[in-house]
Each structure stands twice: as structure tokens, then as C-alpha cells.
Amino acid sequence: MGMEFNPNLLWYVIGYGVFMIILGLVYSKKVSTSDDFILAGKSLGPVVLMGTLLATWVGSGTVTGGPNSIAYSYGLWPAIGYVLPSLIGIIVLFLISSKIRNYGKYTISEILEVKYGKFASMVAAVIIILAYVGIVSYQFKGIGFILHVSTGVSVETGTIIGAVLVIFLATIGGLMSVAPTDAFSAFLILIGLIVAVPLVISVGGGWSEITAAVPSVNLSLIGSLTPLQFLGFYIPVLFLLLGDQNMYQRISASKSDQTTKIGTTGWIIGMLISTPLVAIIAFSARAIFPDIDPGMALIATTLVIPTFIGGLLISAVTAFIVTTGNSYLLSASTNVTYDIYGKYINKNATDKQKLMFTKILIPVLGLIAFVLTTFFPSVLAIQMYSYTVYGAGITPALLAVFIWPSVTKQAGISSMILGVVTTLSWEFMGNPFGINSALISIPVAILALIIVTLTTKNTLKPSSI
């Protein structure tokens, strides 16, 4: 079946976009300090916390990359199983959530500085910016896909429009305005996915017709992926989540430890519902639209189900993508402000100056993210690069802060530098032998952490947490 654009869907996208802008403007009036802008005044309740955690994590990486693209290109079961690394990561964050809140820091770099020193903080800030700008870039492209389906405009033009919307919303209110829109979007996407699944299967001629239309290997446990490809998709997700600054900031923004535990439990439930449903819809799209960009699989199905349901789903998908883009753009800007500007450029900056600098910086990083969309062939490719840069460069050293008190300053810095250098080198070489850079760089980072600690802890007094 070929795609026939449905302009009526655009009204749903516009309507929800206007709603998000109005809500963002309302909550932006509550922002008066950096604490309000970055941590929502530490006022998030359990429902909003659950919603913002889910919406931030289930963005374009899920509905255009991740389980969506894997289901369409490689098979159903590896796409459904894509929820496993997320669940493992959430459980670990659940267990250390009290320690995260007690640190009370704005950025991951500030946490790393306590353990490893100022140089580690600077290295972390650079790594986070490299990764998060990449993540923001494919949120822009996801909106480009949506506008292409709903209006017929080119993906490139839609990407520009998406970039403008994300940058505007991130600038006006920070986390204070992002979190409430996240929560509303989270519930909307869950409802949309649940309603859409049986309708999409029906359009595909029923489950037996759908499975008959795809290669039989795509129904095996790892689909048409090789074992190395399978691990190459799963490992970066786990290591990004374990160290994701957005999640640490949201946990720090909650009202209490009890709120955090309720919110993360709801996050787990949301993941168990959303990921398999996205996978089923995208897998079904392979039978309905056999020749489209894999990133458009779920979005394209909104054209073949009743317009009201399709509009509901595409609005929710748009909201998820926009709020994820907001969050990562805000987070990267925060790093530059607090870890570079506030420490090295203007050490005496007032809170108001830092807040203003962050708001000015958001459009700059947004423009860089847009430029990055032209350098990668697919959403999945950008996603894996971004996740791996972060997972190898930040996560091992960060987790050691909370679970390995004897880790040394030298080990943390070595792990961070070797993790990101190995990732970038492997990517620039074109992933030799078809091996994802995560399978090389993350083990290198972990080994560096262990070996350097063992060789330096007897000669140097470990720094205290």
C-alpha cells in the first residue's frame, strides 16, 4: 500500500501544539530562579514525576528509532525485548534514588566533580553536550516525519519546523513547564497506543496476514539481527539510562524519596505497556507499507486507521518527541552554564545571569542539533551514536560514585576519556566488522575504571564521596 497523506491529521498536531505552548507559557510564569527552571523548584509530585520520566525516555528514540525501527527492519521479538535494558536501568535508579536526591546537584558533571575533581567535571560537560545534541537532533527529524505524513511537506522542511517548536518550548519555561506537558502526553500516548493496536492489525488483514507478509526470520527471538547486532542495540540503551542526566535531574526535582519511588514504579508500568505496543504497530506497518523509511513505521499507520484515533495517536507522538527534545536541549544547556560558564568564564555570575545565559544558549545548541541531522543516514544511526558516547563516557564513572567508594580520581577520569575517544574512533572508522561501537568502548571504559583504581588506590588516598 502506498502512503496517501491525510491533511486532517495536521489539525490534531496543531491543536495539541497550541495546547502545549499555552500550558508552557502558563507554567513559565512560575519561573523566577534557576532552581525553578532546571529542577521545577523540587516540587514534582508522583503522578507528574511518573509522566515526565516516561515522556522524556519514550521520545523519538522509541516512536521513530528503537523498537519502532527494529520491529520494522529486523523483527518483532527483538523490538519487544528492547524494553529489558530500560527496565534494568530503571530498577538500578530506583535503588540509588535516595543518594541521587541527597547530592542535590543540577548536573551530572557536578556530581562527578565531587568525586573526581574539576577536570572530570569539564570532560563530563563536553561528553554530555556531544551526546545530548545528537539526541535532540533526531527529535527534530521525528517531527519532520510527522509533518510529512500529515501534510506532504518534505521531511527536511518538517524538521526545520520541529526544531523551531522544540527550541521555543525549551526556552520559555524549562522543567517547570516541560514536566506538566510531559505528564499529560504520557497518559495520552498510552491511551492512543492501546486503542490503535487492534485497528492497525485489522487494517493489515489480521495477524496471520501480517506475519505472512514479512520474512519468517523476523519472527525469531532475535529476528534477522546477528547476536552482535542484537547486543549493539541493547547495551547503549542500558548505559545511557543508568547515567542519563535528565533522569537524575527529575529524581532530584521530586518532593521526597517516597514520591520518587512511586514515580519510578509508574515509569516501569508505562514502559511495559508502551514499548511492546510500539513494536506491534511498527511490525504491522511492515506489511501495510513495505517500502517506507523505518523511522516512519508507527507514524504512517495513522493514515490507515480512523482519523480521530490517528489524530489522537499522532498528537501524542508529537508531544512525546517535543518534550524529549525540550528535556535534552535544556539539560545540555544547563551543563554549559554551570560547568563551563559559571566556573571558568564568569565565576561571579548571579543566579539571574546564569538563567539568562541558559536561555540564550538553548537556541545555539538547537541549531547545532539541526545541522547534525544532515550527517546521519537514519534516526537509529544517530540514536546509537548518541547513546554510546554517553554510555561509555559517563555511566561507568558515574555509577562508581554511588556503588564503589574506593574508586580513584585517576580511574574515573581515565574511564571517561577512554570511553568517549574509543567511541568516536570506532564511529569514524565506520564500525569495522559491523560491530557497534558500544561493544568496544563500554568494556574499555569499565576495564579502565577497574585497572586504574587497582593500580592507584594503594599509592593515593581515595577521595571521599
215: left (phi over 0), alpha (psi -120 to 50) or beta: beta
Alpha carbons 454 and 448: distance in angstroms, whole number: 10
Alpha carbons 54 and 56: distance in angstroms, whole number: 6
34-58 pLDDT per residue, tens: 555 555 556 677 888 888 888 778 7
Per the model's pLDDT, the better-predicted residue between 459 and 274 turns out to be 274
Alpha carbons 206 and 405: distance in angstroms, whole number: 55
Q: Identify the residue whose cell numbers are 528503537.
A: 66
**Residue 337, strand partner residues:** none
Percentage, residues of the chain above pLDDT 70: 89
184, containing H or E segment: helix 155-203
Instruction: Say which DSSP state 407 is in.
Output: -
For residues 57 and 214, the answer to whether their CB atoms sit within 8 Å is no
Instruction: Say which DSSP state 459 is in.
Output: T
- Indicate the average pLDDT of the chain: 84
82, pLDDT greater than 90: yes
- Nine-digit cell string for 240: 545511557
Q: How confident is the model at residue 380 (pLDDT cuts 50, 70, 90)?
A: low
Give the mean pLDDT of 71-95: 93
Give the mean pLDDT of 112-125: 90
Q: How large is the angle between the packed helices 409-428 and 118-151, nearest 10 degrees? A: 40
For residues 45 and 198, the answer to whether their CB atoms sit within 8 Å is no
401, containing H or E segment: helix 395-403
Nearest to 201 by CA among 275, 274, 319, 285: 285
Q: Determine the 3-state secondary structure of 206 from DSSP.
A: coil
126, pLDDT greater than 90: no
Q: What is the DSSP string of 283-327?
A: HHHHHH-TTS-GGGHHHHGGGTS-HHHHHHHHHHHHHHHHHHHHH
**Residue 254, strand partner residues:** 44
Q: What is the CA radius of gyration of the chain?
A: 21
Q: How confident is the model at residue 30 (pLDDT cuts 50, 70, 90)?
A: low
Can you give the pLDDT at residue 9? 86
Which range among 35-44, 70-79, 427-436 shows the weakest confidence by mean pLDDT?
35-44
Q: How confident is the model at residue 324 (pLDDT cuts 50, 70, 90)?
A: confident
166-213 pLDDT per residue, tens: 888 777 655 555 666 777 777 888 888 999 999 999 999 999 999 998
Which range among 103-107, 336-340, 354-358 shows the weakest confidence by mean pLDDT?
103-107
**Residue 44, strand partner residues:** 254
